[in-house]
Amino acid sequence: MDQLEIKASLLQQELFELFRLQLKKDFEVSGCDTEFTEQLPVIFEQLREVISTQLKKMEKSSASKLPELLYRIDLSERQVKRFSEEHPGEIWEDLLAELIIKRILQKVILKKTYGKK
C-alpha cells in the first residue's frame, strides 16, 4: 500500500472511522493513552504527525509499552527495520507512525472486505 492509496483510503469516511476505532483499540489494549484518537485528522501527513507525537510521548513515559503495541498492531521488528533502512535519514517515530497507519488500514480493509456480512 503506497502513500497515494493510503491518502485515498483515509478520505473515505467509513474507512477512516473504522481506522480510528481500530487504532484506539490497539493502543488501548496495549495500555497506551487513547485520548488522541478522538480528534484525528484525515490528512495523511497530519495523521502521521499526531501518531508520531504520541509515540514520542510513549517513549519518554513508558517505552516498555511500544513492543506490546507493535505486537498488537502486527508489525514485526524485521518490518520496522527494513522500512527504516529503505528510508534513511527519516525520523524514526515518523517512519513507525507511517507503518502503523498502513498496517491498521490493511486490517480494516481486510475485515471490511472479508468479514461477516
pLDDT in tens, 14-25: 999 999 999 999
pLDDT in tens, 69-80: 999 999 998 999
Grid coordinates standing for 37?
484518537
pLDDT in tens, 55-71: 999 888 877 888 999 99
pLDDT of 117 > 70? The answer is: no
Grid coordinates standing for 117?
456480512
Strands (DSSP E) contained in 21-105 are none
Number of Cβ within 10 Å of residue 104's Cβ equals 22
116 pLDDT tier (thresholds 50, 70, 90): low
Q: What global pTM score does this model have? A: 0.91
Residue in 95, 100, 39 with CA at minimum distance from that of residue 108: 100
Question: Is residue 110 helix, strand or coil?
Answer: helix
